[in-house]
Amino acid sequence: MKNKKIWALFLAMVMLFMQIIPVCAEETNVNEWYELIEEDFQMDIEPDQSVNPYSLYLMNVYASIAKINSTKVGMRADVHCAAVMKEITVVFYLQKLSGTSWNTVGTTTVYAYNTSSTSKSITASNLSSGTYRTKVLAKVTASNGYSETLTSYSGSINMP
């Protein structure tokens, strides 16, 4: 009987330790930080059609990134809602691949008011060589104060 209790306790401890998830903090290199500037330009890229979690107003958020020249990228966010929103907040994050993790190397926030959809474009210049992507966080706020958020990621591009 005593052996069964010891084995049961041992198995419970093993199951407990198997649920531990490793987490690592994002490191930001202060020497590599880029200013992101809102700028209107065209991108001939089809948005990624993907499944979204259920939301009341936010229908979808598309994020895309394109190389403008050897040191400049353009990023675009398309936000679509089911109704006119009081405010749409779009936060752009320029991320660079470092090993196996994506580090944020630039961020900016842009806004749209009293609309059901918006397309916002920004640029980042003087980029060093590496692999980059865009993370877009969209927050919509209805006239009654209710808000929702949705995050989208672009594909990655390589800068020479």
Kindly report, residue by residue over 43-93, the tens digit of the pLDDT: 665 555 555 556 788 999 999 999 999 899 999 999 999 999 999 999 999
**Between 112 and 22, the higher pLDDT residue:** 112
CA-wise closest residue to 134 among 159, 116, 157: 157
**Between 122 and 36, the higher pLDDT residue:** 122
- Asked if the model's pLDDT at residue 33 lies above 90, the reply is no
For the segment 15-43, the average pLDDT, to the nearest whole number, is 65
According to DSSP, the β-strands at 72-98 and 147-153 are unpaired
For the segment 118-143, the average pLDDT, to the nearest whole number, is 94
CA-wise closest residue to 65 among 113, 133, 160, 120: 133
- Asked if the model's pLDDT at residue 119 lies above 90, the reply is yes
For the segment 22-33, the average pLDDT, to the nearest whole number, is 60
